[in-house]
Structure 1
Amino acid sequence: MEFQNLLIANKERIQYITINRESKLNALNKDTLAELHTAFAEAFQNPDVGGIIITGAGPKAFVAGADISEFAALDVEGGAQLSRKGHTEVFDLIANGNKPVIAAVNGFALGGGLELAMACHIRIASDNAKMGLPEVTLGLMPGYGGTQRLTQLVGKGKAMEMILTADMITAADALQYGLVTHVTTPEELLIKVEEILNKILTRAPLALAAAIRCINAAYTDGVNGYETEITEFGKSFGTKDFKEGVAAFMEKRKAEFKGE
């Protein structure tokens, strides 16, 4: 599929998804969200893709927020539908994906942009990044999972402060709060992200997917994360990758996983 708002590039087993609306600071309009749904659904199903890096075009913004102009005509039901569609088709799709997704956060990650980054499994930021959820300045509140994922990542108190004040934080703050795991210079950002993802991609693909499911289960209401772990751990013993991993360990060699 040819995208109008995204750039897709493959580098060995890594797929780059770049939001390409630099003149709009990569804001998330309906068309971009629809394309993100398609791009991620295809990447998760593509056997040649091991992991995904998502970033924004240009030096100014990862994603500066949602396209507010599309909100003006919405009523209560329209707003709820917008939120639900975004949750289901994009943000939850990414969070529950079967392959690791890393957000390379350059510049502004605000509102829906920060929510997009938080839906990813890992976030790495450049030292010029600014992050925040400013929705209350518009008479709104975060609607793409921000109240939930920010609380999970930084704790209730800091999430309350960030959302209620609408203040932006620096990359250094985000690192301190646990919102990102590394901070680099802008020039080194993608190098660092690739380094981490390439390390992940040397591990067993089915085990990675199972680990993602188990970690997510810890934050899913009505799901016993421990039982999920027990089940997924047991399933691992039925994979060819497990047999290869044990054989490689015993033979003191590097394992060659096939995702089987």
Structure 2
Amino acid sequence: MNFETILIDKKEAIATITINRPQKLNALNKTTLQELHTALKTLEIDSNIQVIIITGSGEKAFVAGADIAEFANFSANEGHNLARKGQEIVFNFIENLTKPVIAAVNGFALGGGLELAMACHFRIVSDNAKMGLPEVSLGVIPGYGGTQRLPQLVGKGKAMELIMTAGMISAEEAKALGLVNHVTSQEELLSFTQKIAEKIIRNSPLAIAAAIKAVNANFDVDKNGFEVEIEAFGNCFGTPDFVEGTTAFLEKRKPNFPGFK
């Protein structure tokens, strides 16, 4: 599969998607969003892949934002469509993917870049990373879920401050706020992220998919998270992963989960 703006590397059960527009600091444009959707959709149905990592090319930026030149002259209606389509095909799509998606943030994650990282299930960043939502300095607001996910991660008050000031925060500040899980050196970022991915793939893919669904339900006003958890918990009992996991435990051996295969 050939792409214009992204690269895909598969290593055993881990797939790494690299946004590859270094001349634009990996800014998101329509092509990148569509290619991300295609890649993620393909990897989700690939039974050999259990974890997906998203990162940026080079050492300066994960994603420095959206490609402003592409929408600077948009009308209000075009702006609505831009946000709606982007959320549907990439940001919400990532959040609800049945496989874990980890953001490996290797530099600037601004605007759409931070929104992309926040859509992932969790974030690991290099110590040179800078994060922020500078949209109000351009006369617009975050449109790819930033006003929703940032308060979920850092709280309403701090999210309001970060959005209103259009300021950037450092990797350590982001960790202190709970926006990111870990901070590493630039050199260790991908290897560290891969080690966490390796821990994940030891566990049941079907149970992980159910856990993602249950956790996400807590943030959906139209759903009762406890009820979703009860249903997902019960459904696990009917899976081959549950049979293998409990059998392996009783036999005192490591499980070999069939997962989605």
Identity of aligned residues (%): 62
Partners of 2:220 and 2:45 in 1: CA distance: 24
| CA displacement 1:86-130 (0-9 Å, x = unmatched) | 000000100000000000001100000000000000100000000
TM-score by length of 1: 0.99
- Tell me the amino acid that sits aligned with residue 175 of structure 2: L
- Matched residue, 1:227: 227
Structure 2 matches for 1:123-142, cutoff 5 A? 123-142=123-142
- Give secondary structure in 1 for the equivalent of 2:8: strand
Q: Which amino acid aligns with 1:167?
A: G
Correspondence 1:257 to 2:254: no
**Offset of 1:191 from its aligned partner?**
1.1
Report the residue type matching 1:238 in the other structure.
G
Alignment of 1:11-30 (within 5 A): 11-30=11-30
> Unaligned 5+ residue runs, structure 2?
none
State the shift of 1:222 in Å. 1.1
| Alpha-carbon shift at residue 72 of structure 1 (Å) | 1.7
| Partner secondary structure for residue 187 of structure 2 | helix
Superposed, 1:102-113 pairs within 5 Å as 102-113=102-113
Name the counterpart of 1:241. 241
Which residue identity does 1:123 align to in structure 2?
A: R
Shift in Å at residue 18 of structure 1?
A: 0.2
Equivalent AA in structure 2 for residue 213 of structure 1: K
- Normalising by the residue count of structure 2, what TM-score does the alignment of the two structures yield? 0.99
Superposed, 1:43-62 pairs within 5 Å as 43-62=43-62
SS at 1:103's partner residue?
A: strand
1:195-210 to structure 2, matched below 5 A, reads 195-210=195-210
Give 1:160's aligned amino acid. Answer: M
Tell me how far 1:221 sits from its aligned partner. Answer: 1.3
Cα shift at 1:243: 1.0
Runs of 4+ aligned residues of structure 1 deviating over 4 Å after TM superposition are: none
1:90 aligned partner? 90
**What amino acid maps onto 1:142 in structure 2?**
P
